[in-house]
Amino acid sequence: MQKLLRRTALVKKQAARKVVARQGKSDSDDRKLRLNEQKIINISVRHDNRAARVARREDWLLGPLAPKRDVGSAKETYGTLDARRLRGIDKPKDQIKDWGIVEGDRVVVVQDGHREKGKIGKVREVRKEAEECFITGLNMADVAIPDYLLLNEADKTPIRPYEVPIALSGVRLVAPLPHPETGALRDVVIKELRLKKMTYVQRSGEDPPTRFIAGVEPAIQIPYPEKAPEEFEDNDVDTLRIEVEERTFIPTLGKPPMPPGIIDELRNKYSKFRDRHEDAFIAKKMEEDRIAEERKRSIRKMDTPLKELHRKERAERKARGKPILSEEMLAQIGELMAKNAIAEPSSRSATA
């Protein structure tokens, strides 16, 4: 039985190591994918910047003789943004920061050098994986829609205006707070939010954490924007509520909830990961262990007199334990060490 349990433990450890190695490979593949996407976006940005510099210089030097660039394949999409630049690169899970901003919040753009700096808008979408948000009506750009996306759409316009995402680090939450003297509500830009998980539902991740203004005492809670109630539409194939709430099974202590043999259909009866066994199987393995132990004992009875003598001497030495040095022994050891110390300098001088 011990051999079986040891094998199960080793198999579980090996499976756990494989999972860790597989996860490491998956993380490595994700990192390579992120680097590839970032490389593609960087190449697109450099190409656009280089083309814009060349076009600006040609327009300045040539004036009315400057070439017309909105021709050919770029006739309808010249000056537009690549659709791949509408989404940032997802960050690793251990590097994602929760900024406390959700859909429906009012935020102000504070990013240095941004064309929309100082403007306030409502958050339409938040992508926590890339730490960016889309603000309704802000940071708009004309985006070129690929041809394969226009095949199944009625609107065949190749250019459409979209919001370009803004980093969450470049926006700040705007909340209406009462004035400390007059009590009148006015918009306040909150520099930093402090998030705290106060309930079990929040700690389990089902609800977002409670938001407070960081560094303010007493604590001021910032509520989340109210969400519109979700509407459900009934269909003919839906199950009636009375049928859902009907109790069709009442468990009792005298009868198991399922037939005894159905457990073998749910899991492999002979799995190497199995660590719970029936009493009959355990008794069988214990009997096998007892027979093996008796066989070892019977082999010992066939030992020669010399082996028996050695076994007896080992048992006696084990019973005596480790030897203890007496005072007389310690004195003799000290005398021998002193004698060797005196003889050592004379031997050195002779060799010199």
Q: Residue 350 pLDDT more than 60?
A: no
d(CA 125, CA 87): 12
Q: Give the type of residue at 243.
A: E
Q: Each residue of 234-283: pLDDT tens digit?
A: 888 898 889 989 988 888 888 888 887 888 888 888 888 888 888 888 88
* pLDDT average, residue stretch 158-175: 88
Q: Give the model's pLDDT for residue 345.
A: 66
* Cis status, amide bond into 257, omega within 30 of 0: no
Strands 81-82 and 140-144: parallel
| 312 vs 352, more confident | 312
**pLDDT one-digit tens code per residue, 9-53:** 888 888 888 888 888 888 788 888 888 888 887 888 888 888 889
pLDDT digits (tens, 9 = 90+) for 307-343: 888 888 999 988 888 878 888 888 998 889 888 887 7
Q: What is the pLDDT of residue 156?
A: 80
- Token pair of 217, please? 């005492």
Which alpha helices (H) appear in the chain, and where do they start and end?
2-62, 147-150, 200-203, 241-244, 263-266, 279-300, 305-320, 327-351
Q: What pLDDT is attached to residue 89?
A: 80
More confident residue, 134 or 321: 134
pLDDT, position 351: 57
* C-beta neighbour count of 16 within 10 angstroms: 10
Convert 233-252 to b/e letters by CB count within 10 Å (16 or more is b). Answer: eeeeeeeeeeeeeeeeeeee
**Could you tell me if 167 and 111 are in contact, meaning their C-beta atoms sit under 8 angstroms apart?**
yes
H-type helices in 262-304, by residue range? 263-266, 279-300
- Mean pLDDT within 192-209: 82
Residue 297 banded pLDDT, cuts 50, 70, 90 = confident
The dihedral sign for the CA sequence 96, 91, 100, 117: positive
Report the percentage of the chain scoring pLDDT > 70. Answer: 97
pLDDT of residue 349: 59
Alpha carbon distance 186, 178 (integer Å):
6
Q: What is the pTM of this model?
A: 0.63
CB 101 within 8 A of CB 208: no
What is the pLDDT at residue 348? 59
Compare 332 and 303 and report the one with higher pLDDT.
332
pLDDT at residue 172 in the model: 92
d(C-alpha 164, C-alpha 136), whole Å: 10
- 155-164, 229-238, 274-283, 340-349: range with lowest mean pLDDT: 340-349
**Beta-bridge mates of residue 186:** 177
Provide the pLDDT confidence category of residue 227 given band limits of 50, 70 and 90.
Answer: confident
